[in-house]
Amino acid sequence: MPITTQDQKKQKTAHYDIIIIGAGSVGCAIARKFTLEGARVLTLEKGTDILDGASKGNSAILHTGFDAPPDSIEQSCIADSYQEFMLLRDKLHLPLMKTGALLLAWTDDEADQLDSILQQAHYNHVNDAQRLSAKVILNKEPQLASHVKAGIYIPKESLIDPWTTPFVYMHQAIENGAQLICSCEVSNGKFDGEKWQLETNQGKFKATTVINCAGLYGDLIDQQLLGWSAFQIKPRKGQFLVYDTPANRLIHSIILPIPNKISKGVVICQTIFGKLLVGPTAEDQDDREDTSVTTETLQMLQKKGEELLPALANESINASYAGIRPATQFKDYQIHYHDKKNYMSVAGIRSTGLTAALGIANYVFKQLQKEKSLYSPLDTIIYPKKLNQIAECETRDWQKEGNQGIVCHCERVTEREVAT
């Protein structure tokens, strides 16, 4: 958002209740939560726009948490977030594709794991998950390879818009009084026992509490501001293939593999934009910025996709991309409240961050409110107007009268959408 000179003067002299470092999916959700609860919130994002880090490359799945570690912070946040998303999506005009998911076993060894995964799903209160035979699976998804052994159907796994969703969280925060500064990198900070003063490339900012949502740089921000970090970010690259629009007719469900100890594995699913996605990989690396893709890896994904969905061999590839997950040495989310420093670390949010963002925001808010209520919720909440979207699961502007013609035929964007 544009910041005027007058705005900058106000921001630098103001004392905020909360400064959030990082405007990824989680940072946007936390900004929304604290703003609606009555806090004065400023979000600092070092990128030129929000969602510029780990949040810009994911599979856009709305997870149920059926396979999340039982009794973990992650599982709790996913469950809470899923429910809140369903309650909010109409008010916030958030697109949703209800597809369901099939977690499939392709070998006898994988089939032997299905019962324990199903038990875990039921323990996590995903009670509608059910085991299916190969025959039922192939009736449901006839384009799948015939050597599938068995699987688990999770009806409520869905697809959402990975851009519009967190953008609307931040948009609502700003509409209700929050502030955002992009291209603003935190370099240092001091806590005097009552408040923080953060130093950035755009000046100094004061707040009572700092919430670190810096994603791939979460441990480095902790080290800068606290002098130490309870975790180490271990960047994990995930490369994706995107197949052109005709390929998305091949399946209707999200196709999941049996997860391993490192990641959820390679997924095949539609996108909310009418394409078909294969990925991600799970490649540990030291570089926190390297989102390059390699021919060898993309060929591996193509081969993997065709093994599971043979008809993909006849489909054209539209694009490829990579994202980096901010993994740590721990399996669970790393959310730590340093109460003596008025400082919260929110880190280690990997594949499920888009889903869990609202739940993480609630969890963080509750941690800060444990001893006493710090804020008074807004009397009147503003809900933003519906944004122009290119989600194919909803009626698009090109399908409506008076759209002034299509200016982008690939994505069917109209002149009216560009103008507004």
* Same domain (yes/no): 250, 358: no
Residue 396 has what pLDDT? Answer: 64
Measuring CA to CA, how many Å separate 131 from each of 35, 105, 156, 256, 289? 43, 11, 15, 14, 40
Which string of DSSP letters, residue by residue, matches 214-233? -GGGHHHHHHHHHS--SS--
- Residue 85 tokens read as 């998303």
List the domain range (segments joined by +) for residue 406: 388-420
Per-residue pLDDT for 186 more than 80?
yes
Q: Maximum distance among all alpha carbons in the chain?
A: 66
The Cα–Cα gap between 233 and 235 comes to 6
* Same domain (yes/no): 148, 246: yes
Band of residue 10 on the pLDDT scale cut at 50, 70, 90? low
* Same domain (yes/no): 336, 217: yes
pLDDT tens track for 237-291: 999 999 999 999 999 999 999 987 767 789 999 999 999 999 999 999 999 999 9
Residue with tokens 């994911």: 58
112 Cβ partners below 8 Å, 6+ apart? none
* Same domain (yes/no): 335, 288: no
Band of residue 55 on the pLDDT scale cut at 50, 70, 90? very high
pLDDT tens track for 330-359: 999 999 999 999 999 999 999 999 999 999
The pTM of this model reads 0.94
The Cα–Cα gap between 8 and 406 comes to 39
The Cα–Cα gap between 36 and 129 comes to 34
* Same domain (yes/no): 52, 106: no
- 278 assigned to some structural domain: yes
Residue 180 has what pLDDT? Answer: 98
* Same domain (yes/no): 212, 228: yes
* Same domain (yes/no): 131, 252: yes
pLDDT tens track for 111-123: 999 999 999 999 9
- 290 assigned to some structural domain: yes
Cis amide prior to 280 (ω within 30 degrees): yes
Per-residue pLDDT for 158 more than 50?
yes
- 107 assigned to some structural domain: yes
Residue 409 has what pLDDT? Answer: 65
The Cα–Cα gap between 354 and 25 comes to 6
- 73 assigned to some structural domain: no
Residue 143 has what pLDDT? Answer: 99
- 292 assigned to some structural domain: yes
CATH number at residue 195: 3.50.50.60
* Same domain (yes/no): 139, 250: yes
The Cα–Cα gap between 312 and 300 comes to 13
DSSP state of 199: E
Amino acid identity of 400? Answer: K
Q: What percent of the chain has pLDDT over 90?
A: 84
Residue 1 has what pLDDT? Answer: 44
- 174 assigned to some structural domain: yes
Residue 14 has what pLDDT? Answer: 84
Q: How many CB atoms lie within 10 A of CB 407?
A: 15
- Which secondary structure element, helix H or strand E, spans residue 288, and what is its range? none
CATH number at residue 109: 3.30.9.10
* Same domain (yes/no): 169, 215: yes
Residue 380 has what pLDDT? Answer: 98
* Nearest of 374, 369, 70, 28 to residue 167 by alpha carbon: 28
pLDDT tens track for 350-405: 999 999 999 999 999 999 998 678 899 999 999 999 877 777 766 666 677 776 68
* Same domain (yes/no): 102, 133: yes
Per-residue pLDDT for 2 more than 50?
no
* Nearest of 307, 309, 323 to residue 276 by alpha carbon: 309
Mean pLDDT of 130-135: 99
- 377 assigned to some structural domain: no
Amino acid identity of 350? Answer: R
Band of residue 5 on the pLDDT scale cut at 50, 70, 90? very low
Mean predicted lDDT score pLDDT of the chain? 93
Sheet of strand 158-160, all strands in order from the earlier edge strand to the far edge: 61-62, 158-160, 96-98
The Cα–Cα gap between 151 and 24 comes to 34
Which string of DSSP letters, residue by residue, matches 350-404? -TTHHHHHHHHHHHHHHHHTSSS------SS---PPPPP---TTS--GGGSTT--
Q: What percent of the chain has pLDDT over 70?
A: 93
- 378 assigned to some structural domain: no
* Same domain (yes/no): 245, 266: yes
- Residue 329 tokens read as 């040495």
Domain count, the chain: 3
Band of residue 407 on the pLDDT scale cut at 50, 70, 90? confident
79 Cβ partners below 8 Å, 6+ apart? 64, 65, 124, 125, 359
Per-residue pLDDT for 21 more than 50?
yes
* Same domain (yes/no): 147, 256: yes
